[in-house]
Amino acid sequence: MDAILQIIAIFAVISGAAFSILGLLGVIRMPDVYTRLHATGKVGVFGVVFLLIAAIVWLPAGRGKALMLILFLLLAGPVTAHALASAAYRTGIPFARPIRDDLEHLASAPLNDADTPSA
């Protein structure tokens, strides 16, 4: 039983490391901020979560904590990605080689109330 758990843990650790390497490779190769965000999301969602799965299997004492950390990462990852993408769009960072942009017609008009100083 212990041997099987160990194999699962090793497999999870190796996949986590592989996805993290892929994510970093994506960050270096991608042309602009928005496409880079897709790559970093993968380090958070796949890389660390696979390591935490290994921790759940291999560390009986830390099971609850690791599970909570997985849930937190899955909740927080998209929120961070959206905040960064929104901030990038509002500061006017251009897209690299876009096929089409449905947001274009909104770019001239103020987005929500971001451009008006709030009291």
Partner 1 sequence: MLSTLYLTLGIYVLLLILALWRVWRGENAIDRLIGVDLVTVLTLGILVILALIYRDSIFIDVALGLAALGFITTIALAKHIADEQMF
Partner 2 sequence: MQLWMIFGLWLVYLALTSNLEFSNLVVGLLIALGLTALLRPSPYPLRLQRIPGMAWALLRYGIMVGKDVFLGGLQVARFTLDPKLPIHPAVIAIPSGAEAELATALSAHTITLSPGAVVIEIGEQGMMYTHTLDVTMPDEAYFKMQRQRRDLLTRILPSPPT
Q: What is the per-residue DSSP string for 35-50?
A: HHHHHHHHIIIIIIHH
- Residue 60, Cβ neighbours under 10 Å: how many? 8
For the CB of residue 26, give the shortest distance to partner 2 in the complex, in Å: 4
53 phi, psi to nearest 5 deg: -65, -40
- 86: its two tokens: 């929104």
CA distance 10 to 60: 16
Q: Maximum CA pair distance of the chain?
A: 63
Interface residues toward partner 1, by CB under 8 A? 6, 9-10, 13-14, 16-17, 20-21, 23-24, 27-28, 33, 36-37, 40, 43-44, 47-48, 51-52, 54-55, 58-59, 61-62, 65-66, 68-69, 72-73, 76, 79-80, 83-84, 86-88, 90-91, 93, 114, 118
* Residues at the interface with partner 2 (CB under 8 A): 19, 22, 25-26, 29-32, 34-35, 37-39, 41-42, 45-46, 61-65, 67-68, 74-75, 77-79, 81-82, 85-86, 89, 95-103, 106, 111
